């Protein structure tokens, strides 16, 4: 009986502790009345009235309907949540609270003539999810759908963002705990924002699994719209972009799909430690928002005045200019491996050969580019001619990668990209399709990893890539030297993937790609120069993985945390006392028979 009473006491203490720290829940409905209690049966009418009358840590649940009001969140740890269908807020949402605000499940549709649709400034802990953010008027030149500045622990996930000047604008992002308390932009659909899809500035930012497209209009020549722009400037005391991960995104139809640029000089850049991997990047030969994409110079990736940039396992194509352009970056700090590069005017263009150390442009597959690689003023029509020089693309290949049409780009069962890559740091081991590399004997090239034993083979859907939207005109970038061949082979129309053997001496021999990778086993460790190591590699593996600490922070408002700690201490004291009492009772029962026998 004593043990039972102790157990019930502990249970009651835990229930009491949870009750003490639990948040109150209030309700808002278009059929409500602000003079009511704000309960589910008697809801309030206005969201802002609820904001003014709840306490820090409370929850506001809003029913479907139109709310013609601006909303300002001033109290910490507020959760603003829709009940079912997305309520429409016909006004801006401004978060001036400093900690722990959650907004989920709304259609935010304001006039942002002089403001931003949703903004969070100078705080820690902001979550915006499962919402639609768009504007019916965005005449302000700087208006963004989502604007976050000088803040940490920000999560913007599973939203649709469109029809603002900029989609998501992150300025001077901060973090005290690396990527774990940085900024996460994940699973969003971002389109038709004519300046940029996503702008990034600050530290420890992850952009993962978004679909970003058509952020362009007829004023493209002035705006230079990017899918993702990572650009350094001095704001709030931060003068650089450091530690950014761009992965698993599908990005298409911008003047630049991904653009990075630091400040200062090439040897003192303001854009440092950027990983770009598992992305699918392309452009379509169509008219989008009044722009003929095939008639303007578009690029897939630009790396400019940057350091420690890792461009791996992307599948990219159909740019009328350049697939990957590297310009004025820190010597020996750019790494480009395991990419599929197809249907571009120039596959890779390196303006200064010093930007890449020997062997850091390698294991890429090229197909239907007018020139596979350009280094300085020298054009290499076929990658094999570059391979023969022995410095770059020793394991590079040319030919049809046998992938499905963009944006799927899955590998067919007989794709030469299978097992053709090199093993990299484990932070790059998860492919875009969720398969851990390697599935077979080696890492596959491109964003996808082929799963052996997969019955859903896409061989019948593989594009022949027999035509290209690549212009036959010279590169738009001003360069020196001739655009003529540096090799005798032509890339166009070739369906045989070849690679240059890495044997010694100056001679070269073309062998099939499968022969080059034969002998590699699943357990083989990468060579030292094949492994990409950097100061944040361990953080990249986890991304934003401290789920336990974040769960505690989200469940317990900061203003009630002290009460929770006191209750927990009391419960533990009860548990300890109960344990001692149960031990005493147990000893008494075992000693009683002995005493009776004396």
Quick count: other Cβ atoms within 10 Å of Cβ 441?
16
* Residue showing tokens 């990017």: 226
Radius of gyration of the chain (CA): 29
DSSP 8-class letter at 411:
B
Q: What is the pLDDT along the chain (598 residues), one digit of tens a residue?
A: 545 555 555 655 565 455 445 679 999 999 999 999 999 999 999 999 999 999 999 999 999 999 999 999 999 999 999 998 899 999 999 999 999 999 999 999 987 676 899 999 999 999 999 999 998 766 656 689 999 999 999 999 999 999 999 999 999 999 989 999 999 999 999 999 999 999 999 999 999 999 999 999 888 878 889 999 998 887 888 877 899 999 999 999 999 999 999 877 666 678 999 999 999 999 998 899 889 888 888 999 999 999 999 999 999 999 999 999 999 888 889 999 999 999 999 999 999 888 899 999 999 999 999 999 999 999 999 999 998 877 899 999 999 999 999 999 999 999 999 999 999 999 999 999 999 999 999 999 999 999 987 655 555 555 544 443 333 333 333 333 333 344 433 333 333 343 333 333 333 333 333 332 333 333 233 333 333 333 333 333 334 344 444 444 444 554 455 556 666 676 676 666 666 666 655 665 555 444 444 3
In this prediction the pTM is 0.78
Instruction: Show the CA angle centred on residue 597, arms to residues 593 and 598, nearest 5°.
Output: 125
* Residue showing tokens 């790494």: 335
Give the contacts of 267 (CB within 8 A, at least 6 positions apart): 330, 331
**DSSP three-state, residue 67:** strand
What distance in Å separates the CA atoms of residue 390 and residue 373, rounded to the nearest whole number? 14
Quick count: other Cβ atoms within 10 Å of Cβ 502?
13
Give the contacts of 28 (CB within 8 A, at least 6 positions apart): 38, 43, 44, 45, 46, 47, 49, 50, 60, 61, 62, 63, 67
pLDDT of residue 517: 32
Dihedral of alpha carbons 31, 37, 40, 41, sign: negative
What distance in Å separates the CA atoms of residue 560 and residue 554, rounded to the nearest whole number? 12
474 Ramachandran zone, left/alpha/beta (phi>0; psi -120 to 50): beta
Is the peptide bond between 438 and the residue preceding it cis, with omega within 30 degrees of 0? yes
144 Ramachandran zone, left/alpha/beta (phi>0; psi -120 to 50): beta
Task: Check: CB of residue 44 under 8 Å from CB of residue 27.
Answer: yes
Structure tokens at 203: 């530290």
Dihedral of alpha carbons 443, 444, 449, 454, sign: negative
Pinpoint the alpha helices (H) of 135-270. Answer: 220-223
CA-to-CA dists, residue 555 to 95, 101, 128, 229, 449, angstroms: 20, 12, 17, 34, 38
CA-to-CA dists, residue 64 to 81, 87, 100, 412, angstroms: 11, 4, 24, 46
DSSP string computed for 216-252? --TTHHHH--EEEEEE---BTTB-SEEEEEEES-EEE
Q: Which of 230, 255, 199 is nearest to 309 (CA)?
A: 230
Task: Check: CB of residue 490 under 8 Å from CB of residue 389.
Answer: no
Give the contacts of 279 (CB within 8 A, at least 6 positions apart): 246, 247, 248, 249, 250, 251, 258, 314, 315, 316, 432, 447
- Cα end-to-end distance, the chain, whole Å: 28
Instruction: Show the CA angle centred on residue 216, arms to residues 130 and 309, nearest 5°.
Output: 80
Domain boundaries, the chain: 2-17+557-596, 277-287+305-535
Task: Check: CB of residue 444 under 8 Å from CB of residue 421.
Answer: yes
pLDDT of residue 474: 31
CA-to-CA dists, residue 593 to 277, 580, 582, 584, 587, angstroms: 74, 22, 19, 16, 11
Give the contacts of 33 (CB within 8 A, at least 6 positions apart): 42, 43, 44, 45
β-strand pairing of 291-292 with 287-288: antiparallel
What distance in Å separates the CA atoms of residue 511 and residue 500, rounded to the nearest whole number? 6
């Amino acid at each position: 009986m004593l043990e039972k009473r102790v157990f019930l006491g502990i249970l009651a203490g835990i229930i009491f502790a949870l009750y003490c720290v639990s948040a109150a829940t209030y309700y808002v409905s278009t059929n409500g009345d602000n003079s009511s209690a704000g309960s589910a049966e008697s809801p309030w009418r206005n969201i802002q009235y609820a904001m003014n009358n709840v306490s820090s840590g409370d929850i506001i649940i809003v029913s479907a309907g139109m709310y013609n009001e601006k909303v300002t969140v001033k109290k910490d740890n507020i959760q603003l949540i829709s009940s079912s269908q997305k309520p429409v807020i016909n006004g801006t949402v401004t978060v001036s609270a400093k900690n722990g605000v959650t907004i989920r499940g709304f259609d935010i549709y304001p006039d942002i003539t002089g403001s931003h649709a949703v903004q969070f400034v100078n705080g820690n802990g902001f979550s915006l999810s499962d919402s639609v953010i768009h504007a019916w008027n965005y005449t302000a030149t700087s208006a963004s759908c989502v604007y976050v500045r000088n803040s940490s622990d920000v999560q913007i996930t599973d939203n649709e963002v469109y029809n603002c000047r900029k989609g998501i604008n992150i300025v001077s992002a901060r973090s005290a705990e690396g990527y774990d308390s940085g900024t996460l932009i994940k699973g969003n659909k971002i389109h038709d924002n004519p300046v940029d899809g996503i702008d990034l500035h600050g530290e420890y930012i992850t952009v993962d699994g978004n679909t970003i497209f058509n952020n362009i209009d007829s004023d493209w020549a002035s705006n230079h719209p990017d899918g993702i722009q990572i650009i350094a400037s001095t704001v709030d005391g931060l003068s650089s972009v450091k530690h950014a991960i761009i992965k698993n995104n599908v990005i298409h139809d911008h003047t630049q799909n991904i653009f990075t640029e630091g400040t200062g000089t090439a040897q003192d850049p303001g854009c440092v430690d950027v990983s770009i991997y598992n992305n699918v990047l392309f452009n379509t030969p169509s008219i989008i928002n009044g722009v003929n994409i095939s008639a303007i110079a578009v690029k897939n990736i630009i790396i400019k005045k940057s350091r420690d940039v890792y461009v791996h396992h992307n599948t990219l194509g159909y740019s009328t200019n350049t697939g990957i352009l590297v310009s004025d970056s820190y010597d020996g700090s750019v790494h480009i491996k395991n990419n599929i590069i197809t249907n571009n005017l120039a596959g890779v263009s390196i303006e200064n050969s010093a930007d890449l150390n020997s062997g850091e442009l390698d294991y890429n597959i090229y197909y239907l580019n007018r020139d596979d690689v350009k280094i300085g003023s020298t054009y290499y029509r076929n990658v094999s001619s570059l391979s023969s020089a022995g410095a770059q693309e020793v394991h590079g290949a040319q030919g049809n990668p046998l992938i499905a049409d963009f944006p799927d780009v899955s590998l067919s069962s007989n794709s030469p990209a299978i097992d053709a890559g090199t093993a990299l740091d484990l932070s790059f081991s998860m492919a875009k399709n969720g398969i851990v590399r390697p599935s077979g004997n080696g890492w596959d090239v491109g964003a996808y990893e082929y799963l052996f034993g997969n019955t859903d083979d896409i061989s019948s859907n593989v594009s022949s890539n027999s035509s290209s939207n690549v212009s036959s005109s010279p590169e738009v970038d001003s360069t020196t030297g001739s655009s003529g061949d540096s090799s005798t082979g032509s890339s166009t129309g070739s369906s045989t993937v070849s690679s240059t053997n890495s044997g010694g001496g100056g001679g070269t021999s073309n062998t099939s790609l499968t022969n080059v990778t034969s002998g590699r086993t699943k357990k083989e460790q990468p060579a030292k120069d094949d492994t990409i190591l950097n100061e944040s590699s361990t953080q990249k593996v986890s991304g934003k993985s401290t789920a336990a600490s974040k769960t505690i922070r989200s469940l317990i408002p900061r203003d009630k945390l002290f009460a929770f700690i006191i209750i927990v201490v009391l419960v533990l004291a009860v548990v300890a006392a109960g344990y001692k009492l149960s031990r005493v009772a147990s000893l008494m029962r075992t000693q009683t028979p002995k005493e009776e026998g004396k």
